[in-house]
Structure 1
Amino acid sequence: MDPPIADATHGNWVERLAPARLRPYLRLARLDRPIGSWLLLLPCWWSTALAAVADDSPYPDPALLILFAIGAVAMRGAGCTWNDILDRKIDRQVARTRGRPIASGQVSVPAAFAFLVLQALIGLAVLLSLPHFAIVTGLASLGVVAVYPLMKRITSVPQLILGIAFSWGALMGWASVMETIADPALLLFAGSVLWVFAYDTIYAHQDKEDDAIVGVRSTALLFGRSTPLAIALCYAMVVFLFGAAFLSVPTGFFSALGLIGFALHLMVQVRRLDIDNPTLCLAIFKSNRDAGLILFAGLALDSIVPNTLGPLLP
């Protein structure tokens, strides 16, 4: 019997369908827990859709959306593998993570390195499929990705570094369409950094007791009982920055509607938050996928409806 993984849904496809020999590697890449891939992907899709509106395209480029989806899965898996290699000793001391494949001995460190290289090569293939400016933009993120797992050892705000790494897609989509970086992309990036910072603070409350014992730092420990206020302020800034990004294009009705839906979703998260309930913290963290899809739907419709349906309307 494999050690349990706290974040994984019981009976997920890896448990049911994957060959036994592959399961530890699929778990190492977090393919049994796709939420991280979604959260890495969404800023890429937002940026691609925002650029489509700015460029008066009839729809966000489907090829780019697919490439970013493949890249998000590969690079999230590579990042998790790198994280687990570096954190294997810490993971053995934390209840939620001691069942991870490296920490539990299911995957050796050399095998994990080989798997890391494989995933990175897939990500590289996706990156090289993009325009030259986007390739350079993507390569600029590698330093942040490499150092993130070490940040919880030296700073109380590792979530900020994660925010930068997970939000790089807010620059990549725009760079792929426009082959430049402009104010809308920078505003979207800034808002996304705060969004990640906030939702990962919620996630970190699952481990706060173990983190304090092990000596790992996080914003959950930094903010403590003030976390709901900190999250509310971050989310307010996220909505403000996204609104500024939309106005700078400018976008239209559907983007505004998507932003309102996104903001209401964040408001409900804050109202529901109980930092002493790890199960609820995980559920709220995961719900950010739905918030992000609402925002993307608004941006996509702002490109599709005026350009595709507009000529058919009276």
Structure 2
Amino acid sequence: MPSGDALAGRNWRERLRQYWLLVRADRPIGIYLLLWPALWALWFAAGGIPPWWILLVFVLGTALMRSAGCAINDFADRDFDGHVARTAKRPLATGAVQPREALAVFAVLSLIAFGLVLTLNAKTIAHSFVAVALAAVYPFTKRYTHMPQLVLGAAFGWAVPMAFAAIQNQVPPLAWILFAATVTWALIYDTM
């Protein structure tokens, strides 16, 4: 029979595995879909390869905010996911993770991402508040709007104005054109 320490270690590993599943770390495609617009914008804003630190902040921030978005999405859908075959095994739907834990994961990951943004300029920091608001609001729009994909597209594309702000300390018309293109791209792939 395993000792109490061995059981505690196994329980701890299982908790981490459930959090890993909550933030969809086992399915990184969402990170890639969020990362492409950020990389496009960084490239355009810098006129080529962006400064390494800004690139690192955006890559890590994208991964963190995608993970945070998954946690808040599952929180918002917690009463529905158990009834849908595709989502029935998600950690909140099975009870492996509690709703307050999902909110805590969202908050912690968002704060870590914000810590990264704090190393950038004030304009980028200001734009980051919109990013976290979009991430937090999107899951709830699925209940109250006919086009939640529009909010999702804005959330996926918000890295564009942030990237221009980080590199140029401004958000020129090109950034808004690229943002609109990103929203359209997200609308197309999420609606099809």
TM-score normalised per structure 1: 0.55
Structure 1 residue aligned with 2:24:
30
Structure 2 residue aligned with 1:71:
61
Distance (Å, rounded) in 1 between the aligned partners of 2:168 and 2:138: 29
Distance (Å, rounded) in 2 between the aligned partners of 1:165 and 1:94: 25
- Paired residue secondary structure (1:141): helix
CA contact (8 A) 2:35 2:59 kept: yes
CA contact (8 A) 1:46 1:173 kept: no
Distance (Å, rounded) in 1 between the aligned partners of 2:101 and 2:147: 31
- Flag the structure with larger Rg: 1
- Paired residue secondary structure (2:92): coil
Structure 2 residue aligned with 1:199:
189
Structure 2 residue aligned with 1:48:
42
Structure 1 residue aligned with 2:133:
143
The gaps in structure 2 that reach 5 residues or longer are 1-11
Percent sequence identity is 41
Distance (Å, rounded) in 2 between the aligned partners of 1:120 and 1:142: 7
Distance (Å, rounded) in 1 between the aligned partners of 2:127 and 2:99: 30
Structure 2 residue aligned with 1:186:
176
Could you report, residue by residue, the CA deviation over 1:88-108 in whole angstroms, capped at 9, with x for unpaired residues?
Answer: 111111110011000111111
User: 1:52 Cα deviation (Å)?
Assistant: 1.3
User: 1:143 Cα deviation (Å)?
Assistant: 2.7
Structure-to-structure mapping, 1:124-139, within 5 angstroms = 124-139=114-129
- Paired residue secondary structure (1:130): coil
User: 1:142 Cα deviation (Å)?
Assistant: 3.0
Structure-to-structure mapping, 1:54-93, within 5 angstroms = 59-93=49-83
User: 1:110 Cα deviation (Å)?
Assistant: 2.1
CA contact (8 A) 2:23 2:71 kept: yes
CA contact (8 A) 1:48 1:61 kept: no
Structure 1 residue aligned with 2:4:
none
Is it true that 1:161 corresponds to 2:151 in the alignment?
Answer: yes
Structure 2 residue aligned with 1:170:
160
* Residue type of the alignment partner of 1:192: T
CA contact (8 A) 2:114 2:128 kept: no
Distance (Å, rounded) in 1 between the aligned partners of 2:24 and 2:87: 12
- Computed over aligned residues only, the root mean square deviation of the Cα atoms, in angstroms, reads 1.5
What is the total number of aligned residue pairs between the two structures?
181
Tell me which of 18, 21, 35 is aligned to 2:15: 21
- Paired residue secondary structure (1:97): coil
Distance (Å, rounded) in 2 between the aligned partners of 1:114 and 1:145: 15
User: 1:148 Cα deviation (Å)?
Assistant: 0.9
Could you report, residue by residue, the CA deviation over 1:116-170 in whole angstroms, capped at 9, with x for unpaired residues?
Answer: 2221111111111111111111212333222211112122211111000110011
TM-score normalised per structure 2: 0.89
